[in-house]
Every structure is written in structure tokens, then in C-alpha cells.
Amino acid sequence: MQKKYPENIVNNEDYIFYKDKSNFEKLVHPTIKQYFPNYELYAVDMTFKLRPDWKCRCVIFFDSTKNDFILQEPLSMNGIGNRLTSILKNLTFMDTSSLYNFIDSFHQIRQIGSQYKFIKRSTTDSLLAYYVVRFEDQDYITRPYKETVQTKFDKSQIMGNFYIKLENNKIKDYIEISPNQSLK
């Protein structure tokens, strides 16, 4: 990836990618690899264009077959992008257990670079609901992911809601809405 990184990552709207300052780390997630065999995952430090003294930890989903990538910014910055949700739609799983394992792994990756954590709210056969909660005890700038010891939170810590619509263990939609909106 470092040898043939996509040039347009340098020209990203919000970030600058410096190969020599990126703190590249290959992420190993067998569950994700099972469903996205062409993608390699990397955690990298990106520099803000407007504030060169600020860095953030992002995840790059790199498709080696197309020499293309999807940049996952921290949840605290811009949530989830349309390109990332599009690769999730219509993924089918053998059973509920494999679906939940995938979602848990995917959310671990999404939490990189952020003080936010997905907290499962409710599950049905057709809908998974998650809060996105801000926990202050995290240090995601220096470490890609660590389990928080904090489990209790109040309503003021809820930064968003994510819903995953399902049909027969298939992801139909992945929806992000603000805390004061309701799912339609």
C-alpha cells in the first residue's frame, strides 16, 4: 500500500497524507477479510489541511484489484461515507451469529481515531440499532482501538444513532441519523 498509494488521497478535501509521517499500521480482521477479500485495511495518521499541527487516525479500505481506496474518517469528524455504506449493502450472512460478528468487527474499525463507541441498543430480525456514544477516557490518536472500561453513559454523551436494516441475514441498509432524529 505505501509503495503504490493512490495519488488522490493526497488531494483529499480535508486531509493531507504524508507517507513518511503516516504511522502506517496494517489491520488484521479475518471477519472483515472473509467478506471483503480484495480489501486490505490500514490505520494511518492524516494531517488536517486547515490545521497542519492536527492529526487524526483514519482507516483506509484499499482495494488492491482496482488500486482504489475508501477513506474512513473518524466518527467524530464526518461519520460514515456513502462509499463505505455502499459496499455493505446486500452482504449476506449464513446466520445471525456471523452477521453479528461481522458488524462487531466493522464497528471496531469504525471506532478507530475517535472517542466514540458503538453501543448496541436493540436487535430484531429486521433491524439492529446502535447508539454512538462519546467516551472521554479513550486515546484514539495514539492507539487504534482499546476497549473502554466505561459502560454507563447519559443522554448527553449520545452523538448519533446507527440502524442496520436486515432481511434474511442480509444487510439492506446502513443508516446514520443525529440523536434527536427518529428512524422513518
Q: What is the number of helices (H) and of strands (E) in the chain?
A: 4, 9
The CA-atom distances, in angstroms, between 117 and each of 7, 55, 58, 113, 132 are 31, 20, 15, 11, 6
pLDDT at 147: 46
Residue 153 lies in a domain: yes
Whether 110 maps to a domain, the answer reads: yes
Type and span of the H or E element at 8: none
Please report the DSSP string for 84-145 in residue order: HHHHHTT-B-SSHHHHHHHHHHHHHHHTTTSSEEEEEEEE-SSEEEEEEEE-TT--TTTSS-
Mean pLDDT of the chain: 79
Sign, Cα dihedral of 49, 142, 119, 58: positive
The span from the CA of 73 to the CA of 28, in Å, is 18
pLDDT band at 4 (very low <50, low <70, confident <90, very high): very low
Residue 156 lies in a domain: yes
More confident residue, 160 or 12: 160
Q: Based on the structure, what is the number of domains in the chain?
A: 1
**Inter-residue contact 85 to 162 (CB < 8 Å):** no
Return d(Cα 72, Cα 43) in angstroms, integer.
Answer: 9
- Tell me whether residue 138 is in a domain: yes
Q: Is residue 184 part of a domain?
A: no
| Span 75-85, average pLDDT | 70
- pLDDT at residue 69 greater than cutoff 50: yes
Span 92-148, pLDDT tens digits: 999 999 999 999 999 988 888 887 888 888 899 999 999 888 876 544 333 444 444
**Structural domain of residue 133, as residue ranges?**
7-177
What is the mean predicted confidence (pLDDT) over 79-86?
72
Check: pTM over 0.85? Answer yes or no.
no
What mean pLDDT do residues 27-32 have? 93
Percent of the chain whose pLDDT exceeds 90: 30
Position 131 in a domain = yes
Is 118 inside any structural domain? yes
Residue 182 lies in a domain: no
Cell numbers for 139:
486515546
